[in-house]
Structures are given as structure tokens and as C-alpha cells.
Homo-oligomer: A and B are copies of this chain.
Amino acid sequence: RRTGFPEVIYGESKTAEQISAIFRRMMEHSDRVLATRVSEGKAESIRSDVPEAEYHPIARTLSWHRNKPQYAPDEDYVAVVCAGTSDLPVAEEAAVTAEMLGCRVERIFDVGVAGIHRLFRRLELIRGAQAVVAVAGMEGALASVLAGLVERPVVAVPTSVGYGANFQGMAALLAMINACAPGIAVVNIDNGFGAGYYAALIQQNRKG
């Protein structure tokens, strides 16, 4: 069954050896394993130990399922929406995380407010989701706009994309926290994992 939570390894400050060892150990006791913040270099070395693990170079995750989930065509889904190509690593981290927690995920990328018509073209798909992850850097307006347009919970992830008075994502975080539409809550800057996890928690409710 697809519900339940996989074990998750935060790879940031761990060595390839440490990640390999933990990953292997978890594979014995769990149906799914996820490691986040794994650099390409580490991934290569880990995969020579754990060839079953799949690496997602954009999300920088390593993941493994005992049995790949199959989704019905009308299965509920989480929508992961992002503004520009620089936000992709965070958006993909959210998407992969939600998938590892058993959710079908629809990716709606490159729909920033600088070209808002692209967002409107995908609106139907976004509105159909059980929960929407909105990933945006710079001024983070995408999340506010989405909260005004959809009736499901929006999980907003500010990214550190930007420069100058952006303060590594703080401008986007403040904008999202102050969104004028209700139906939005915020996780830490660049915390794609946290957003994917949260969206999955929301979606699981339905099945519980």
C-alpha cells in the first residue's frame, strides 16, 4: 500500500559512505527510502554501493521503492507549480518527496507571473489537485496569485533565487507570509522537502 512514510536521510553534511550505510540498512526494514541534498559526486559513489537507488540530478535526491507505485488515471494528485528554471531544484525536491510519500504528482513549471498567461493555460490542472505546492523566488508573487485562484491548500516555498535586496529568499518568504488571499501557509526558504512532505500529509488525509 502506498500510504505510510518512507525513511528520509538528510544528505547535506553526511559523507557518501555514511549515506550508503544508512540507505542500505533502511532498505532492509522499509518499503521506500529517500535521501535528499545528495550532490552528483556523492550520488555516483553511493550508487556503486547501492545500485538499486535512483538518482534525480535536479532534485538531488536518491530514492528507492520495493515496488513502484501504479496510479489510476483519476487518482488524486498534488500539483507542484514553479516560476522559473532556477527554481527547479526546489520544485523537483518537493515533487520527488511527495511521490515517495505515495502521491501522484503533476508538475506545472515555468509559469511565473512575469508571463501570467502561461499560468492561466495550466489553471485547470492546478485546480484539480488536492494540494498545491507553489515554489517561487525573487518576489514570490506566484504563491499569492495561486492562493487567489485555487480553493485547495497552497503550500508556499520561497526560494533563494534572486539578488540584491532579495536577501537569499527572505523577500519571497515575507511576501508569502503576507499574502492577501487566505488558503496559503509557508515553509522555509528552499525547503522543497518540507513542502512535498506537507502536501502529501494533506493528501493522505483523504485516504485515511
Select one of B153, B164, B190, B205 contacting A188, CB under 8 A.
B164
B164/A182 in contact, CB under 8 A: no
Given contacts A139-B140, A187-B186, A205-B206, contact A114 B165 (CB under 8 A): no
Measured between beta carbons, the chain B residues less than 8 angstroms from A151 are 201
Interface size on A, residues (CB 8 A): 68
A61 at the interface (CB under 8 A from B): no
> Complex: how many Å from CA A130 to CA B163?
29
Given contacts A144-B141, A145-B141, A198-B153, contact A175 B180 (CB under 8 A): no
Q: What is the total number of copies of this protein in its complex?
A: 8
> Complex: how many Å from CA A130 to CA B141?
25
Residue of A113, A115, A183 most packed against chain B (CB within 10 A): A113
A86/B187 in contact, CB under 8 A: no
A selection of 20 A-B contacts at a CB cut-off of 8 Å is A13-B85, A84-B180, A113-B148, A115-B148, A138-B179, A139-B140, A139-B178, A139-B179, A141-B145, A158-B164, A164-B188, A165-B177, A172-B175, A172-B178, A177-B186, A182-B193, A182-B197, A183-B197, A183-B201, A205-B205
Residues of A at under 8 Å CB distance from B? 13, 83-86, 112-116, 130-131, 138-141, 144-145, 147-149, 151-153, 155, 158, 160, 162-191, 193-195, 197-198, 201-203, 205-206, 208
